Structures are given as C-alpha cells and as structure tokens.
C-alpha cells in the first residue's frame, strides 16, 4: 500500500508541475476571474504547505514551518520557485512514505482534525491527502483553461 501511495503522489505532483508549465506566461498563473479567487500559483503554494506539514513534518519529522494564510495571500511567486517547491515536497513525500512502517497505516493518526472521524487512521488520512491533492490539481486545470481560454 505504501508503494502504491508513493506512486500516486509522485504521478499527481508531476501532473501539478506539468499544469504549471502549461500556462503561457507567469502572469496567467496568478490571474483571477469571476468567482475563481484562488489562482494556480496559490493552489501550488497550498499543496506544498499541506503536504510538507501533514506528511513531511508530522509523519516524517522533516522540519517545516507552515504559514497557511500566506499560501493564499502571496502573489507573483516565480513559476520556477513554485516548481522547485513542488519538486522538494515530492521528494519529502516519497522519502517519508518509503520510511513509514506499514503498521502505521492502521494506527490512529496522532492529530484529530475537525471534520474527520474519531479514530482516523494514518492510512485514511494519507488517502484523504491524496484526494485533496487531486481536487486542487483539477482546479488548476480548470483555472488554466479558463484564463487562457483554451
């Protein structure tokens, strides 16, 4: 199961990077339009923060200090910086899952988060985090097509 999760995270984080690369210019990464208030740049920052905290720090002990409000407030971060952050978090996720003991998947997660079931397991949370990644990947794809009129 851990090898499967490693493969899925790697595949979909690579898709996020490809999505950022598909924007015609850096300005369009940050364009907002209509009710779409979270452009791709902010979604990328959010995914970096989310996975760095919940997988890197909490499961892997990789130091990380998250500033969640900045993930949605920052603007005009260069595409190269976003991609470098995504590449770093991809490596952190891969390494953390590679070191995780399979028995941890069935253990109750150390943190009880609002809106999650009591007794949530680490395996459940890892699956949730992957779904969260995919949700934002889809938003990025929609945003790109919207702002570039593809």
pLDDT (tens digit, 9 = 90+) per residue, 61-95? 999 999 999 999 999 999 999 999 999 999 999 99
Using a pLDDT cut of 90, give the percent of the chain over it.
92
Nearest to 76 by CA among 40, 129, 47: 40
Position 35 scores a pLDDT of 87
Distances (CA, A) of 56 to 36, 126, 136: 29, 12, 19
The DSSP code for 55 is I
Residue 110 has pLDDT above 90, yes or no: no
Using pLDDT thresholds of 50, 70 and 90, give the confidence band for residue 132: very high
Beta bridge partners of 33: 36
Rg, Å, the chain Cα set: 16
């Amino acid at each position: 199961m851990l090898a499967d999760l490693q493969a899925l995270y790697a595949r979909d984080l690579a898709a996020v990077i490809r999505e950022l690369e598909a924007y015609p210019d850096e300005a369009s990464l940050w364009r907002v339009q209509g009710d779409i208030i979270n452009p791709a740049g902010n979604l990328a920052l959010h995914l970096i923060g989310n996975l760095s905290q919940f997988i890197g720090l909490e499961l892997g002990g990789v130091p990380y200090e998250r500033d969640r409000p900045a993930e949605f407030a920052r603007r005009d971060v260069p595409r190269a910086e976003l991609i470098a952050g995504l590449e770093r978090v991809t490596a952190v996720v891969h390494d953390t899952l590679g070191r995780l003991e399979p028995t941890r998947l069935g253990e109750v997660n150390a943190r009880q988060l609002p809106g999650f079931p009591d007794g949530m397991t680490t395996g459940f949370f890892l699956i949730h985090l992957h779904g969260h990644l995919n949700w934002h990947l889809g938003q990025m794809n929609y945003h790109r097509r919207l702002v570039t009129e593809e």
